[in-house]
């Protein structure tokens, strides 16, 4: 059921699986002193696997529209809410509201396990990334209200379809439909980082390496040429490959080059005339896609290599003064030092728009998508407090 | 359409595609001076892909039941006809009446291309193996009739489901249901041998070689272990393998050991935790299945090897006096010298029953199952004449 010992069942912390209303969410989000556990449980129990985000997006939209300090825009199941305080700088805070499918048996409704500072909330979405969404939603309600004005203007983005094919990504759609809504001086993506800052992300490239032979009946194997045997040196080169570690803006990115799929042969009595090895290269954000392709072709020189898809990485953005300031605030509150993010995240979309972007949110990123996904509840308030302290601070003078 | 230049269309040599009646077949089979081309065309045009043999089996049964010198037995779509002349020896002559599926576009009805001794009959089944069936059917009608008594008693077996899974094989079914009907001193299987004798057959064994790893997201490849990379030395050993040539009863059998399928990985962003290489070993008939397994395990020592299926080969049987005599008769008529048969054929079933067995029939075995399957018509009468000469000869005294 889970990959760690299953905790004993305890009553669900949230209101139970099912649709959540804007009123219910608002009641949970509106208390600045809350520990956010109830809010997170409500967000998770409102199951929203990619493609099924509408009910949750509706509830979030209702919460945001109830705030006089926010102007709300809806694009599909993406909800954008912006302050307009005339500040000299604008910070974009974004998080996706969809999740990967539930585990089998279902890891919802959420369960609160343990007590006090060691308590953990278990269930789908607690890490990736409704923990970050809970922090964002509470601060969207709080900051901008009378007496709680932030030092920067704020843009909150709650978006859909992050866990599926890139072309369906709600943030990508918004950047095509209404790019002006994403403008800002720094973007913070609420992906899980265990309450530290993870900067940038590796790029990713997939290539297909094909070996060819001549088909023949295996009873007369010598009349054919075996394409699977011809793939042996491809696999050996990948097995021998020593991945690089590349420092970018002070963070060390670890690369990797792996065969992820292999497929060859047509029948158990036919000498195979074709074998395909699918390779995934994760490359440091200092490399362009063209440089990454050149490297793959160099490693696999002599073989038929076809690049099938690629997405450049994002530099950590920690050379940006605003990002450095945020990093300092996080260090002060959570003790988390900036680290590289290895997985590709939507910070790369902001990088493409020329906006420095970092990841910052509660939860261990290694637990994302796992059956035993769970978040230490203490990280929820910690992340909120760090963000709040920095956003309320004297970032820049009013315009 | 075909792998050699397509001949110009010519009128079909046979009666056209469709069901064939026993009366029509009998008329074509009953002329001892026929060149058998019309009979073969009729047999082929009565399409009988495995599972669809019933109509053809009915027609063949009708032909055989019309012969007073034959006792006929039907088992599913297998038809057995036996003489009972009290001879001291019995020769079994067997051929399957099913074919592999038609080519696309269909390679039926048959077409006669060319004239005279160079003419070829094109179409599905002409080689594998209705050519042999035509020879057998004509001789079944002829030999045993008054004044045409053979020197041995004869058992003719026309059977179904040879081109599919072994457990559906009609000869195998008959050997379970009525093994006494298959008893004999020598079996001749009418598989294509280009009118020579091909003795015995290689054995075949399939094994699954599995490498295992630890799954991980490919963004953090170093937390996993790549099972596809672990398969590199498996493929390299197979690529480096030098197959043996083994002499058995005077014939040289060529072995082979090949990867025929490879499959690994679950998704393009996951480090694969499993890779499976399916290996096919074709081994000389002097090896037992256990010896073959030991060899595969020795070559792939250190890897997880699972034997998934195996069938022992059949020695050529050319140390048997009766088989040697038949080989001499064939050499005299067709000029064909005994050769090894590489593909697994049903001679191995006879070998299991303790009956020496050889392959002998018209058609180039390399054209079996091909889209451009075709038989030189001259081989039909040649094979019939060689078989007839030997079967009418003084093999043994009456009991």
CA-nearest residue to A223 within chain B is B366
Confidence of residue A6 (pLDDT cuts 50, 70, 90): very low
- Among residues 183-212 of chain B, which lie with CB inside 8 Å of chain A? 202, 204, 206
- Say if the Cβ atoms of B222 and A268 lie within 8 Å: no
- Among residues 234-263 of chain B, which lie with CB inside 8 Å of chain A? 235-236, 238-239, 243, 254, 256, 258-263
- Say if the Cβ atoms of A229 and B239 lie within 8 Å: yes
CB contacts of B272 in chain A (<8 Å) are 259-262
CB proximity B264 to A under 8 Å: yes
Confidence of residue B9 (pLDDT cuts 50, 70, 90): very low
Choose, from B98, B198, B273, B372, the residue flagged as catalytic: B98
- Residue B8, pLDDT score: 38
Give the closest-approach CA distance of A341 to chain B in angstroms.
Answer: 9
Among the partner residues A221, A262, A282, nearest to B258 by beta-carbon distance: A221
- Residue B395, pLDDT score: 46
- Say if the Cβ atoms of B260 and A268 lie within 8 Å: yes
Among the partner residues B218, B231, B243, nearest to A260 by beta-carbon distance: B218
Answer yes or no: is pLDDT of A318 > 70.
yes
Q: Encoding tokens for residue B310?
A: 């195996």
CA dihedral A145, A149, A150, A152 (to 10 degrees): 110
Percent of chain A residues past pLDDT 70, beyond the cut: 94
CB proximity A181 to B under 8 Å: no
Answer yes or no: is pLDDT of B1 > 80.
no
**Average pLDDT for residues B76-84, to the nearest whole number?**
98
The verdict on pTM exceeding 0.80 is no
Q: Strands, E, within A123-269: which ranges?
A: 153-159, 186-189, 197-199, 203-212, 216-217, 245-248, 251-254, 256-264
**Average pLDDT for residues A248-266, to the nearest whole number?**
94
- Residue B17, pLDDT score: 53
CB proximity A3 to B under 8 Å: no
Handedness of CA A363, A366, A369, A373 (dihedral sign): negative
- Residue A124, pLDDT score: 95
Percent of chain B residues past pLDDT 90, beyond the cut: 74
Give the integer Cα–Cα distance in Å for A91 and A81.
12
Give the integer Cα–Cα distance in Å for B374 and B113.
10
Count the helix, strand and coil residues of chain A and give each as a percent rounded to the nearest 5: 30, 25, 40
Q: Encoding tokens for residue B9?
A: 């269309």
Residue in the structure block whose two tokens are 């140390």: B319
B299-310: pLDDT as tens digits: 999 999 999 999
- Say if the Cβ atoms of B220 and A366 lie within 8 Å: yes
Residue in the structure block whose two tokens are 């009013």: A398
Answer yes or no: is pLDDT of A398 > 50.
no
- Residue A397, pLDDT score: 38
Percent of chain A residues past pLDDT 90, beyond the cut: 75
Mean residue pLDDT of chain B comes to 91
Answer yes or no: is pLDDT of A2 > 90.
no
Confidence of residue A3 (pLDDT cuts 50, 70, 90): very low
Tell me, what's the ipTM? 0.77
Q: Encoding tokens for residue A390?
A: 């920095």
* Phi, psi (deg, nearest 5) at residue A295: -65, -45
Q: How many CB atoms lie within 10 A of CB B32?
A: 14
B16-49: pLDDT as tens digits: 456 789 999 999 999 888 999 999 999 999 999 9
Mutate to test the interface with B, among A203, A213, A221 (most CBs of B within 10 A): A221
Mean residue pLDDT of chain A comes to 91
Give the integer Cα–Cα distance in Å for A339 and B162.
65
Residue in the structure block whose two tokens are 């690049």: A307
- Residue A394, pLDDT score: 63
Instruction: Tell me whether strands A216-217 and A270-271 are parallel, antiparallel or unpaired.
Output: antiparallel
Answer yes or no: is pLDDT of B330 > 50.
yes
Among the partner residues A204, A222, A262, nearest to B264 by beta-carbon distance: A262
For A107, A129, A133, A164, B162, the CA distances from A49, given in Å and listed in that order, are: 12, 12, 15, 10, 51
Give the integer Cα–Cα distance in Å for B98 and B104.
18
Decide if B181 contacts B92 (C-beta within 8 A). no
**Average pLDDT for residues B101-116, to the nearest whole number?**
93
Among the partner residues A206, A217, A265, nearest to B262 by beta-carbon distance: A265
A162 is catalytic: yes
A94-133: pLDDT as tens digits: 999 999 999 889 999 999 999 987 899 999 999 999 999 9
CA-nearest residue to B204 within chain A is A219
A271-300: pLDDT as tens digits: 999 999 999 999 999 999 999 999 999 999
Give the integer Cα–Cα distance in Å for B150 and B303.
56
- Residue A337, pLDDT score: 87
Q: Which residue would you say has higher pLDDT here, A287 or A2?
A: A287
B146-182: pLDDT as tens digits: 889 999 999 999 999 998 888 899 999 999 999 999 9
Confidence of residue A15 (pLDDT cuts 50, 70, 90): very low
Q: Which class for A164: exposed (0-12), middle (13-18), buried (19 or more C-beta within 10 A)?
A: middle
**Average pLDDT for residues A192-196, to the nearest whole number?**
95
CA-nearest residue to A213 within chain B is B260
Mutate to test the interface with B, among A216, A261, A345 (most CBs of B within 10 A): A261
Which residues neighbour B336 within 8 Å (Cβ) at sequence distance 6 or greater? B193, B194, B195, B196, B197, B330
Taking alpha carbons only, the member of B365, B394, B377 closest to residue B88 is B394
Among the partner residues B219, B262, B343, nearest to A264 by beta-carbon distance: B262
- Residue A10, pLDDT score: 38
- Residue B335, pLDDT score: 87
**Average pLDDT for residues A320-343, to the nearest whole number?**
89
B245 is catalytic: no
Give the integer Cα–Cα distance in Å for B339 and B196.
8
CA-nearest residue to A241 within chain B is B229
Taking alpha carbons only, the member of B133, B73, B72, B75 closest to residue B99 is B133
Which residues neighbour A241 within 8 Å (Cβ) at sequence distance 6 or greater? A257, A299
Handedness of CA A132, A133, A139, A140 (dihedral sign): positive
- Say if the Cβ atoms of A229 and B222 lie within 8 Å: no
Choose the most confident range, by mean pLDDT, from A134-138, A198-202, B349-353. A134-138
Decide if B343 contacts B365 (C-beta within 8 A). yes
Q: How many CB atoms lie within 10 A of CB B223?
A: 13
Q: Say which range, A283-297, B232-246, B316-330, has the weakest mean pLDDT.
A: B316-330
Q: How many CB atoms lie within 10 A of CB B288?
A: 14
**Average pLDDT for residues A380-393, to the nearest whole number?**
95
CB contacts of A277 in chain B (<8 Å) are 228
- Among residues 343-372 of chain B, which lie with CB inside 8 Å of chain A? 343-344, 366, 369
Give the closest-approach CA distance of A153 to chain B in angstroms.
Answer: 34
**Average pLDDT for residues A212-221, to the nearest whole number?**
91
**How many residue contacts between A and B have a Cβ separation below 8 Å?**
161
Q: Say which range, A246-260, B13-27, B163-177, B325-339, has the weakest mean pLDDT.
A: B13-27
- Say if the Cβ atoms of A256 and B226 lie within 8 Å: no
- Residue A18, pLDDT score: 62
Looking at chain B, the number of H-run helices and the number of E-run strands are: 10, 19
Give the closest-approach CA distance of B229 to chain A in angstroms.
Answer: 5
- Residue A14, pLDDT score: 39
Give the integer Cα–Cα distance in Å for B192 and B373.
11
Q: Encoding tokens for residue B312?
A: 């022992």
CA A376 to the chain's CA centroid: 18
Give the closest-approach CA distance of A17 to chain B in angstroms.
Answer: 29
Give the integer Cα–Cα distance in Å for B131 and B42.
11
Q: Encoding tokens for residue A257?
A: 């080059």
Instruction: Tell me whether strands B153-159 and B78-82 are parallel, antiparallel or unpaired.
Output: antiparallel
B262-280: pLDDT as tens digits: 999 988 888 999 999 999 9
């Amino acid at each position: 059921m889970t990959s760690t010992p299953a905790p004993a069942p305890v009553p669900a912390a949230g209101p139970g699986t099912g649709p959540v209303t804007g009123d219910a969410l608002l009641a949970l989000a509106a208390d600045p002193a809350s520990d956010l556990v109830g809010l997170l449980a409500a967000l998770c129990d409102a199951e929203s696997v990619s493609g099924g985000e509408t009910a949750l997006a509706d509830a979030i939209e209702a919460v945001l529209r109830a705030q006089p300090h926010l102007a709300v825009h809806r694009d599909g199941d993406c909800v954008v809410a912006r302050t307009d305080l005339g500040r000299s700088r604008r910070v974009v805070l974004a998080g996706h509201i969809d999740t990967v499918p539930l585990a089998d048996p279902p890891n919802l409704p959420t369960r609160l396990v343990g007590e006090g500072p060691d308590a953990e909330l278990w269930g789908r979405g607690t890490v990736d990334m409704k923990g970050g969404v809970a922090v964002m939603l509470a601060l969207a309600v709080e900051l901008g209200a009378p007496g709680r004005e932030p030092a920067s203007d704020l843009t909150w983005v709650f978006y859909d379809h992050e866990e599926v094919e890139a072309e369906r990504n709600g943030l990508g759609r918004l950047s095509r439909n209404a790019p002006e809504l994403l403008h800002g001086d720094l973007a913070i993506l609420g992906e899980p980082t265990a309450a530290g800052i993870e900067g940038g992300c590796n790029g990713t490239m997939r290539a297909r390496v094909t070996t060819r032979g001549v088909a023949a009946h295996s009873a007369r194997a010598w009349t054919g040429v075996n394409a699977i045997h011809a793939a042996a040196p491809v696999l050996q080169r990948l097995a021998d490959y020593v991945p690089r570690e590349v420092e970018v803006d002070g963070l060390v990115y670890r690369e990797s080059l792996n065969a992820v799929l292999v497929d060859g042969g047509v029948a158990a009595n036919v000498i195979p005339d074709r074998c395909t090895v699918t390779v995934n290269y994760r490359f440091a954000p200092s490399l362009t896609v063209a440089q990454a392709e050149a490297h793959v072709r160099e490693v696999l020189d002599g073989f038929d290599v076809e690049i099938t898809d690629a997405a450049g990485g994002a530099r950590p953005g920690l050379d940006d003064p605003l990002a450095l300031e945020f990093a300092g605030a996080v260090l002060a509150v959570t003790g988390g030092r900036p680290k590289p993010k290895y997985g590709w995240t939507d910070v790369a979309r902001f990088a493409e728009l020329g906006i420095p972007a970092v990841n910052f949110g509660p939860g261990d990123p290694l637990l994302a998508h796992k059956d035993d996904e769970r978040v230490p509840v203490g990280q929820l308030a910690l992340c909120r407090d760090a963000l709040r302290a920095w956003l309320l601070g004297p970032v820049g003078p009013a315009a």
